[in-house]
């Protein structure tokens, strides 16, 4: 079992190291090439007027299957090994320097507009070449408004930073693309002419449109509808969300934009919007295919995960900054029932791991412990070091000194064990009466928390300790609630165990959820907050 587990972890680690084409296959000198032209047509047969099968972009790796006259028979790994014929001059055979060019450890960007112009810097004088959406290139240098990139022939070019973005991970656990981002990117393709087999600004069909939108956002999919069905989650018309692929009777497809609208490339016309409730489509729409997000196993709540699954997930996110790892593990609790036990289930049962339920303090404890460790066993060791004013003690797997644990959030803030207190660094503070040996403390008041500058200063994994009104606090208690920051599309969200404890004969309850930071602050019952941050 250990041997199998180590192999699984190794495979996941290799997957992280090869995010560019979604494959870890090593290029070989004799059988692989790299596309050097901005765009190359791939035909079904090695004939001048053969039907267009697909297109390939500059920098794409292709497998050379054979050669006939001045054409290569190729398979395209990034398109599910789709085969076809391409002009020889569009492909350069890979040698040692080609391997260096494709090194996945380089910084890569992807073109996000249907078409842009790159400024070439060479001895013949500056000139421009077109680049098409989905083109991936390694970055040599970045400025505030541009990227200096390298082409496969090792020439250097400048691209406007607003027309590209860093390549995202192909791992669904690490890719943070939202449905709204997919829809926004798709709308840029409206008006492009229809071309069967096309996937660029020169012409596109619906399968090419769907493929290139997902490629821009780092999500590898197939252009083949039958293969898409095997990889996607099937959803009904009522469950549709932006980014879902629509399946109609016959061969028609569409890309859902939300609010009943979708995009498709109309034969002999252009990419245009239509409505799923329009007379033409209302009865022909069968269902949607959801490709965005992790699969069922990767969406498991942490309480449903085995130790092996936790270990594999730890390996997959090991390369992320600590703050992102904290936010990741906080997110794995979403949907977990709130722990209504006034003492806490983990304390009541003297356990370190009690993932089946979570209150706000346990949620923070466990998220940080898993993020700071590489194995489930190490997470327990971290718990013994972090949860206690002293050090936790285990006897026969049970904690014997939970009376020495952190019971007050303010003690966590001042201990140094739970990150650096960055409260005064984030914005204007307010001084209020303290407790636990502190005459006064500085907090971020509600008006500061609602400012755009503060919210921009928050990072993944920041811990927010919510502060009670002094008139309402219990003796010795300032902090009444804890939560963890998650940045999505540049905006802060809060992941927290939201609920009530059992009290006065009334049952408590709730769930771990994620809510927009600003919305939470506007409606909260607290007067402000402390914020701490773990530094890498």
pLDDT tens for each residue of 446-483: 999 999 999 999 999 999 999 999 888 877 789 999 99
Can you give the residue range of the structural domain that contains 257? Answer: 179-290
Segment 22-41 shows an average pLDDT of 69
95 versus 419: which is more confidently predicted? 419
Segment 61-88 shows an average pLDDT of 94
Question: What pLDDT is attached to residue 94?
Answer: 82
Domain-located, residue 295: no
Question: What pLDDT is attached to residue 194?
Answer: 97
Mean model confidence pLDDT for the chain: 90
Per-residue pLDDT at 13 exceeds 60? no
Question: What pLDDT is attached to residue 10?
Answer: 40
Domain-located, residue 518: yes
458 vs 181, 369, 381, 389, 494, CA distance in Å? 21, 21, 28, 27, 11
* 375 in the same domain as 280: no
Are 267 and 197 within 8 A, CB to CB?
Answer: no
Per-residue pLDDT at 24 exceeds 60? no
Segment 490-512 shows an average pLDDT of 93
Out of 101, 135, 156, pick the residue that ends a domain.
Answer: 101
- Percentage of the chain beyond pLDDT 70 is 92
pLDDT in tens, 194-215: 999 999 999 999 999 999 999 9
The residue among 403, 509, 418 whose CA lies nearest residue 461 is: 418
CA separation for the pair 411, 479 (Å, rounded): 9
* 12 in the same domain as 95: yes
pLDDT in tens, 243-267: 999 999 887 899 999 999 999 999 9
* 115 in the same domain as 11: no
User: Which CATH number covers residue 150?
Assistant: 2.30.30.40
Domain-located, residue 280: yes
Q: Which two tokens stand for residue 421?
A: 């207190």
Tell me how crowded residue 164 is: count the other CB atoms within 10 A of its CB.
26
Band (20; pLDDT cuts 50, 70, 90): very low
User: Which CATH number covers residue 223?
Assistant: 3.90.1720.10
User: Which CATH number covers residue 335?
Assistant: 2.30.260.10
Domain-located, residue 308: yes
pLDDT in tens, 423-441: 999 999 999 999 888 899 9
CA separation for the pair 259, 199 (Å, rounded): 25
Per-residue pLDDT at 342 exceeds 60? yes
Which sign does the torsion angle of CA 385, 386, 391, 397 carry?
negative
Q: How many domains does the chain have?
A: 4
Segment 289-305 shows an average pLDDT of 81
The residue among 181, 173, 178 whose CA lies nearest residue 294 is: 173
Band (222; pLDDT cuts 50, 70, 90): confident
The Cα diameter of the chain in Å comes to 87
């Amino acid at each position: 079992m250990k041997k199998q587990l180590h192999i699984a972890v190794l495979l996941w680690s290799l997957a992280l190291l090869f995010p560019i084409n979604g494959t870890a296959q090593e290029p070989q000198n004799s059988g692989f090439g790299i596309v050097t032209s901005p765009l190359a047509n791939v035909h079904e047969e090695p004939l001048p007027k053969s039907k267009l099968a697909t297109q390939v972009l500059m920098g794409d790796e292709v497998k050379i299957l054979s050669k006939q006259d001045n054409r290569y028979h190729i398979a395209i790994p990034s398109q599910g090994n789709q085969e076809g014929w391409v002009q020889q001059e569009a492909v350069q055979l890979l040698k040692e320097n080609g391997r260096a060019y494709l090194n996945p450890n380089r910084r890569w960007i992807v073109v996000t507009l249907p078409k842009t112009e790159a400024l070439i810097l060479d001895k013949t004088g500056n000139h421009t070449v077109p680049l098409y959406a989905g083109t991936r290139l390694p970055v040599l240098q970045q400025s505030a408004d541009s990227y200096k990139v390298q082409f496969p022939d090792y020439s250097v070019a400048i691209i406007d930073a607003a027309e590209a973005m860093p390549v995202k991970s192909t791992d669904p656990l690490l890719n943070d693309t939202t449905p709204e981002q997919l829809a926004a990117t798709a709308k840029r393709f409206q008006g492009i002419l229809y071309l069967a087999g096309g996937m660029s600004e020169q012409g596109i069909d619906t399968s090419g449109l769907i493929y290139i939108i997902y490629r821009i956002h780092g999500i590898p999919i197939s252009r083949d509808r039958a293969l898409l069905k095997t990889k996607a989650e099937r959803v009904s018309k009522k469950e549709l969300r932006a980014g879902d692929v629509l399946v109609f009777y016959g061969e028609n497809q569409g890309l859902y934009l939300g609010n009943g609208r979708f995009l498709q490339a109309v034969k002999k016309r252009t990419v245009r919007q239509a409505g799923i409730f329009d007379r033409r489509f209302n009865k022909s729409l069968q269902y949607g295919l959801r490709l965005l997000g992790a699969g069922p196993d990767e969406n498991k709540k942490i309480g449903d995960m085995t130790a092996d699954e936790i270990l594999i997930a730890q390996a997959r996110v090991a390369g992320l900054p600590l703050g992102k790892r904290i936010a990741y593990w906080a997110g794995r609790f979403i949907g977990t029932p709130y722990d209504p036990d006034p003492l806490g289930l983990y304390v009541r049962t003297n356990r370190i791991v009690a993932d089946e339920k979570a209150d706000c303090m346990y949620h923070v404890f466990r998220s940080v412990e898993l993020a700071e460790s590489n194995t489930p066993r190490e997470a327990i060791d971290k718990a013994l070091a972090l949860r206690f004013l002293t050090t936790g003690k285990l006897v026969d797997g049970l904690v014997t000194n939970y009376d020495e644990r952190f019971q007050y959030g303010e003690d966590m803030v001042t201990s140094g064990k739970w990150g650096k207190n960055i409260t005064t660094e984030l914005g204007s503070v307010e001084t209020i009466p303290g407790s636990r040996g502190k005459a006064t403390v500085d907090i971020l008041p509600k008006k500061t928390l609602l400012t755009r500058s503060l919210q921009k200063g928050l990072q993944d994994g920041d811990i927010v300790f919510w502060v009670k009104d002094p008139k309402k606090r219990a003796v010795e208690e300032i902090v009444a609630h804890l939560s963890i920051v998650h940045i999505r599309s540049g905006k802060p969200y809060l992941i927290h165990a939201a609920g009530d404890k059992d009290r006065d004969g009334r049952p408590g309850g709730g769930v771990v959820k994620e809510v927009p930071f600003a919305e939470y602050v506007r409606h909260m019952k607290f007067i402000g907050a402390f914020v701490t941050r773990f530094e890498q």
